[in-house]
A and B are shown apart, each in its own frame.
Chain A
Amino acid sequence: MTSDGGALLSVRGLTRAGIDIPDFELAAGEALAVLGPSGSGKSLLRRALADMDENEGDNRLHGDARDAMAAPDWRRRVSYVAAESGWWDENVAAHFTDWEAVAPLAKRLGLPAEAGNWLISRLSTGERQRLALVRALVQEPDLLLLDEPTSGLDPDSEKATEEILAERLAGGNAILFSTHDADQAGRLARRCLRFAKGGAAEISPCR
């Protein structure tokens, strides 16, 4: 079933304690930047869209209602990357189904093929952040929910990350990302969702 004029994501009547979100749609290839002070609800919105917290609303992906599909199926298509990345095994490769297949993508973000053997406990914050992004990207989700995807990265990694995200957009995916960088918001997105203190949000052109 495809409705909504082909919108990739449609969000109607989203209700979650702490945030007040207007109805919105994201087209294929569109990025939405989320701006606002810390604690205003940026991460609550991403968690609600990934169905990580209790929330209500008619959320659809290519017209498929979220509540009609199992949560794991929804999350493989709507990929939430938390600010604090989580790891459950000792080395990097154990967190991927096939590290060999992932290595080329990781290499573009400055992570060598032998990073698969690295111990999680010895990774830097930036390495964890890039690996968590790679882990989400290889699942080929329709929609990416990212938290400041380039904060704390060196200029080369930042540029590579933005290039990869732009490719995903060109390939028909959508991205919702929070950022403190108005320039980055403008580079990737045309529309911005701005949170005020207290959790109320509205959408307007970024510039």
Chain B
Amino acid sequence: MPLIALDYWDIAVAALLLMVNAGLSIWLQLGLARDTLIAAARMVVQLSLMGLLLKLLFSLVSPLWTALFALAMVLFAGREAMARQERRLAGWWGYGVGTTAMLAAAAVVTVFALTTQVQPDPWYNPRYAIPMLGMILGNTMTGVALGLHTLTTTAVREKAAIEARLALGHPREAALRHVVAAALRTALMPIVNAMAATGLVALPGMMTGQILSGVDPVEAVKYQILIMFLIAGGTGFGALTAVLAAAARITDGRHRLRLDRLAAKRG
């Protein structure tokens, strides 16, 4: 079954639903009409630009442009992960630790999948590389942000316990062990829950998309299972790297707890 292409008229008809929403807002004085229309306009413009950009990128099949596009995605993900932390590392570290961990994890997992399992031609073909990186990165970002957030907030809360262990002569790895374990558990919880619920509660977006575009459901499921494994690997690798690096940063070579290396709590 081939893809049923949409023409612009189809989209315009669907946009009528938005008009119904806006009309409802005006009638009930919800004050949402303006925001709804602006949000919808932003979505149309942003997605259209992204579509044109991806079309250009896919036609080039250039390793350089594909790598630059992927790097930009990682840099944006780094900003997003940093913004989700209540107590982040001060200075460049606040952005650098999470972003570097995501770059390493997403790059390793994506290249691994492209060169050994999916094997498009060439292996860096952006039509495969960019969507897969996007899915892996989006989930790794959540794991890294949750892990770092839990590590720093728990270290602040458990300062007395950590320093008691250090004062007894325990090395910093032992003194922080229960904090690092809590951070990694929190980081990995969403992907574990997602794997358990997938197929029962929700049909994943990628699988649904493939089915709509005419792919045999069994083939779409195989892709989805592969992607879930890649996401789990990327999240685990990224969160472990970020949490261990941050744990090293909030302690020092003399095995002291260095909460002074966290930025001040925000608002």
Residues on A lying within 8 angstroms of B by beta carbon are 50-54, 70-73, 75-76, 79-82, 84-88, 132, 135-136, 139
Contacts and interface: CB of A to CB of B under 8 A. Distances in A.
A79 B164 contact: no
Contacts of A70: 255
Nearest to B256: A52
A84 B160 contact: yes
A88 B168 contact: no
Contacts of A82: 160, 163-164, 167
A132 B159 CA distance: 15
Interface of B: 158-171, 178, 252, 254-257
Contact of A71 (B158, B161, B164, B254): B254
24 contacts: A51-B254, A53-B256, A71-B254, A72-B166, A72-B169, A72-B170, A72-B171, A72-B255, A73-B169, A75-B168, A79-B167, A81-B167, A82-B160, A86-B158, A86-B160, A86-B162, A87-B160, A88-B158, A88-B164, A88-B165, A88-B178, A132-B164, A136-B167, A136-B168
Nearest to A89: B178
Q: Is the interface of A mostly helix, strand, loop or mixed?
A: loop
A15 to B, nearest CB: 15
Given A86-B161, A88-B178, A54 B256 contact: yes
Contacts of B252: 54
Contact of B166 (A52, A85, A132): A52
B256 A71 contact: yes
Nearest to A120: B161
B212 to A, nearest CB: 52
Contacts of A54: 252, 256
Contact of B167 (A73, A80, A87, A88): A80
B254 to A, nearest CB: 4
Nearest to B167: A80
A85 B256 CA distance: 17
A50 B164 contact: no
Contacts of A139: 168-169
Contacts of A135: 168
Contacts of B171: 72
A85 B163 contact: no
B171 to A, nearest CB: 5
A46 B104 CA distance: 42
Contact of A88 (B161, B254, B255, B256): B161
Given A75-B167, A86-B158, 17 more contacts: A51-B254, A52-B257, A53-B256, A54-B252, A71-B255, A72-B170, A72-B171, A75-B168, A79-B167, A82-B164, A82-B167, A86-B163, A87-B160, A87-B161, A88-B165, A136-B168, A139-B168
A70 B252 CA distance: 12
Contacts of A85: 160, 164
A86 B164 CA distance: 5
A50 B169 CA distance: 10
B161 A52 contact: no
A121 to B, nearest CB: 13
B46 to A, nearest CB: 47
Nearest to B257: A52
A75 B169 contact: yes
Contacts of A53: 256
Contacts of A87: 160-161, 164
A98 B164 CA distance: 18
Contact of B165 (A51, A81, A84, A86): A86
A87 B163 CA distance: 10
A80 B254 CA distance: 15
Contacts of A84: 160
Contacts of B169: 72-73, 75-76, 139
